[in-house]
């Protein structure tokens, strides 16, 4: 049974790494719903946070010239504060409820993307605070911190490479904090590290290929791809929670 799980995990992690490398998001959105069919969230979430740190380190190096940390300082601070609360949700709440909540949030985000819904934001820097709080809660609970930030960046009409660099830098810093919290709460176990080591090659290969593909994607195609991804992942998360 473990061999079958590893084979399935290879396919899922490679595919998710490919998507993340190309778009700078989508890794957890794709891998959590699929892996949670076979594994509990208490194994999946810590494993994916470790993967995300490795993966975002690779991507960040590749697109470092577009990173603007000052732009997202309040986003990072808010998310860091909210992440420990999210980690407590992982420990205390039912996994199915968490999956459904995330799926609903992701699906709503995708609908907003599709219809080109935009909110006028007078103070972009201050608006990062509520975005960061929601993202941090999702990050600590189910390792899916992207949707609130992705929606906001799209709402602001952020250019593709800046979009990718901003997300990657944000996720990278959040990964460091989340790993520290998970270690403190003893969520990173021997079993987690075992599965992490088994699937690491699939992650690295998928990300490297994805980064090359992402650099070649046209701006309009990139925007359509993000919309499609969020629709699919939202539906998958809801289905997984209802099983």
pLDDT of residue 104: 86
Q: What is the CA radius of gyration of the chain?
A: 16
The contacts of residue 66 (CB under 8 Å, 6+ apart) are 161, 162, 164, 165, 166
Tokens at 76, concatenated: 């990072």
Residue 8: pLDDT band with limits 50, 70, 90: confident
Task: State the average pLDDT over residues 83-92.
Answer: 77
Taking only the tens place, the pLDDT of each residue in 93-122 is 776 787 787 788 778 877 876 777 777 788
pLDDT score, position 23: 84
Retrieve residue 86's tokens. 């999210």
Residues contacting residue 156 through CB under 8 Å, at least 6 positions apart: 121, 124
Q: Which residues contact 143 (CB under 8 A, 6 or more apart)?
A: 28, 32, 44, 45, 48, 49, 52, 178
Instruction: Tell me the domain boundaries of the chain.
Output: 2-242
Query: Tens digits of per-residue pLDDT, 195-230?
Result: 899 899 999 999 999 988 888 888 778 877 777 877
Residue 113 has what pLDDT? Answer: 67
**Confidence bin at 143 (pLDDT 50/70/90):** low
64 exposure class (CB count in 10 Å sphere: 0-12, 13-18, 19+): exposed
Tokens for 162, please give them.
């800046």
- For the chain, strand residue ranges (E) read none
- Residue 15 has a pLDDT of 92
Token pair 């990062």: residue? 128
Spatial separation of the C-alpha atoms in residues 31 and 181, rounded to whole Å: 21
Q: Which residue has the tokens 């986003």?
A: 75
């Amino acid at each position: 049974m473990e061999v079958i799980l590893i084979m399935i995990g290879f396919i899922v992690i490679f595919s998710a790494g490919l998507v993340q490398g190309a778009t700078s998001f989508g890794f957890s959105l794709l891998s959590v719903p699929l892996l949670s069919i076979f594994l509990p969230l208490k194994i999946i979430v810590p494993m994916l946070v470790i993967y995300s740190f490795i993966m975002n380190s690779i991507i960040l190096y590749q697109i470092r010239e577009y990173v603007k940390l000052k732009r997202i300082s309040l986003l990072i601070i808010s998310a860091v504060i909210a992440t420990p609360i999210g980690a407590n949700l992982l420990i205390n709440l039912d996994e199915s409820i968490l999956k459904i909540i995330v799926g609903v949030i992701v699906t709503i985000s995708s609908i907003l993307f599709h219809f080109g819904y935009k909110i006028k934001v007078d103070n972009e820097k201050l608006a990062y605070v509520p975005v960061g709080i929601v993202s941090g809660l999702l990050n600590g609970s189910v390792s899916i911190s992207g949707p609130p930030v992705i929606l906001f960046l799209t709402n602001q009409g952020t250019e593709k490479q800046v979009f990718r660099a901003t997300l990657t830098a944000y996720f990278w810093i959040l990964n460091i904090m989340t790993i520290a919290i998970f270690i403190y709460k003893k969520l990173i176990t021997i079993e987690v590290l075992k599965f992490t080591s088994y699937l690491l090659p699939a992650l690295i290969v998928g990300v490297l290929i994805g980064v090359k593909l992402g650099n070649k994607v046209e701006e309009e195609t990139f925007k359509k791809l993000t919309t499609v991804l969020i629709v699919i992942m939202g539906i998958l998360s809801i289905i997984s929670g209802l099983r």
